[in-house]
Structures are given as structure tokens and as C-alpha cells.
Amino acid sequence: MELICPKPTYVIKDAPLYETFEVTAASQNILNVLQAFDFAAEQARTLGKPALLQGIGEALVARVIFYECNKKSGSRLDKTDNYQKTSTVSLRLKNDGLFKFKVDSPYVVGFVELDNKERSRALVQEGYDANCKGKELIKPIKDAFICNLIARARDNNRFAPAIEENPLKLSTAQVKGKSEYGQHPNVVAVFGSVKLGELNASYLNERGYDAGFVCDFTAKDLEVMLKGKEDSAHMRSVGLGYGCSINGIYAYDYFSKDGSARAVVHVDAQKVPVEVPRSS
């Protein structure tokens, strides 16, 4: 990968999955998800072109390329090693056959990025308000917008079984480019790509982390949380860890939790590509 310094954005070239895209400098302050969406919208106005809040995959790519450049030249990390707020959200629901998931589990979790349109921001506002009151964001799957998010995640192979133990601990050691972490269906679902899962495995292993974690609600948790609400989806924000927990993916992050944010600009009209796993 190659990083070109900001004019006014950083350009990341030859990135796994995304090829070439631009990222802005990180937010000066730590932001909750609602503020992060507004930060990205302000960046779009400043740049005069479409920009979105980073998804978790883009946050990972930025973290790795800034780290590599820092190793080589001592360039600054620009807060890429901070806790990362993203446009990625998680949806948990009962697997009753309605959506025809390719997952054999009574409860499933899926991942999808929100755009910067009014409906997405309204959903983030709902999540923020609920979490600030100590409540959860649980939305009926018959809601057209929620149904669309579920379908997008399903069609991009980003649903996986709800984990059995929290956290899910996976080895980052790679043999011929493959690791338990990078190949695990829950990690692939989070990032939308085996390539990005293995990129993080390699990065974490080099940083001295023998294992990576996915923190989320378990199937038993969901059985209780969705009791009587089997026609609904439970939603949370998704964040990328930092500090001593930099090896963690927080699939059940609060919308109200703070972190660093940055906006991204894709060459192809903001189209975020997704790698579809090949059948074995």
C-alpha cells in the first residue's frame, strides 16, 4: 500500500479491497457516533465532494498504512491507533428463515455501513438517544429501511452466527497467509472480506498480539433480549479497539461512546466494494 500526504486529504493507494481512496485528517476531538456522522458531513461540505464516515474496513486500512509509514519514516499516526468510530452498524435477529441466511444458527449477527442520508442519521439519533437512556435500539424488521439494511448485509455475505462466548478469541498466527482470526466467519462478516481479516491478523501479530477478539452479545444473550421481539432486530454501533485493546472489534458498541472519526472519499461515487467469499 502507499500513503500520499494530505492535499487536503490523504490518498491511500493499492489498498486491499478498496484499491484507491481518500481519507481526511482525524477529528480534533473524540466524538460519539452522532457527532462522527456530522463531522463527515462537514468534511464533505469543506471538500466540495461526497464524503462518508469511515466504515470499519476503511478504518482498519488507514490504521495499517499509517503504522507502516510511521515505522519507515516516523510520520505521525494521526490518531489511527485511537478507538475508531465508524459508520458500520450491527444487527442481531432470530434466524427464522424469513431472510434465507446462509447461516445455520438460531440467532445471527450482520454488519452494514450507513450512508450520510437523512434516514441513516435519524437511525443513529435513535440509537444515541436510546443508549443515553440506558435502553437498546430494537427496530421491527418490517420497517422498510431496516429490511433493506438486513438484505444488504445478507447479499454481501456479512451475516454470521451469534457467538457462543464473549469475547470470541482467535489466533492471529498466519500459515501461508491464513489465520484462525482472518478466516473466521464473524471476522469476515465484520470487515466484509477475508483479505481485511488477514490484514488485521498480520498487523496485530506484528504488534505482538497473539490473538484478536470480537466482543458481542452471545446467542444466549439474544435469546433473552429478543424474547417476545422475534420480529425485530437489535442494533448497535461497531468500533475498532485501541491501546491495550487494539486487538478488539467491538460489535456491540454504544452509539453514545466516544472515539476518533474521519471521513472517506471513494473514487467510484462512494461505492464500497465487498468481497464475496468463494465456495469451497
Residue-level pLDDT at 144: 98
For the cut 90, the answer to whether the pLDDT of residue 46 exceeds it is yes
Residue 228 located in a structural domain: yes
Residue-level pLDDT at 268: 59
Q: How confident is the model at residue 267 (pLDDT cuts 50, 70, 90)?
A: low
Structural domain total, the chain: 1
Residue 35 located in a structural domain: yes
Residue 97 located in a structural domain: yes
Task: Return the closest-CA partner of residue 172 out of 164, 181, 159.
Answer: 181
Global confidence as pTM: 0.93
Q: How confident is the model at residue 234 (pLDDT cuts 50, 70, 90)?
A: very high
Is residue 199 helix, strand or coil? Answer: helix
Residue-level pLDDT at 55: 98
Residue 137 located in a structural domain: yes
Q: Whole domain around residue 235: which residue ranges?
A: 2-266
**Rounded mean pLDDT, 23-41:** 97
Q: Helices 33-47 and 118-132 sit at what angle, rounded to 10 degrees?
A: 150
**Rounded mean pLDDT, 112-133:** 97
**Rounded mean pLDDT, 160-170:** 99
Residue 271 located in a structural domain: no
Q: What are the pLDDT digits (tens) for 64-86?
A: 999 999 999 999 999 999 999 99
Residue-level pLDDT at 72: 92
| Cell numbers found for residue 213 | 477478539
Average pLDDT, the chain: 94
Residue 279 located in a structural domain: no
Q: How confident is the model at residue 266 (pLDDT cuts 50, 70, 90)?
A: confident
Residue-level pLDDT at 270: 40
d(CA 85, CA 234): 19
Burial of 176 (0-12, 13-18, 19+ CB in 10 A): exposed
**Rounded mean pLDDT, 147-174:** 98
For the cut 50, the answer to whether the pLDDT of residue 278 exceeds it is no
For the cut 60, the answer to whether the pLDDT of residue 194 exceeds it is yes
Residue 161 located in a structural domain: yes
For the cut 60, the answer to whether the pLDDT of residue 249 exceeds it is yes
For the cut 90, the answer to whether the pLDDT of residue 108 exceeds it is yes
Distance from first CA to last CA of the chain, Å, rounded? Answer: 29
| Cell numbers found for residue 77 | 499516526
Q: How confident is the model at residue 203 (pLDDT cuts 50, 70, 90)?
A: very high
DSSP designation for 185: H
Q: How confident is the model at residue 5 (pLDDT cuts 50, 70, 90)?
A: confident
Is residue 169 helix, strand or coil? Answer: strand
Order the strands of the 263-266 sheet from edge to edge: 2-4, 10-15, 19-23, 263-266, 52-53
**Chain position carrying cell 435502553:** 135
Residue 272 located in a structural domain: no
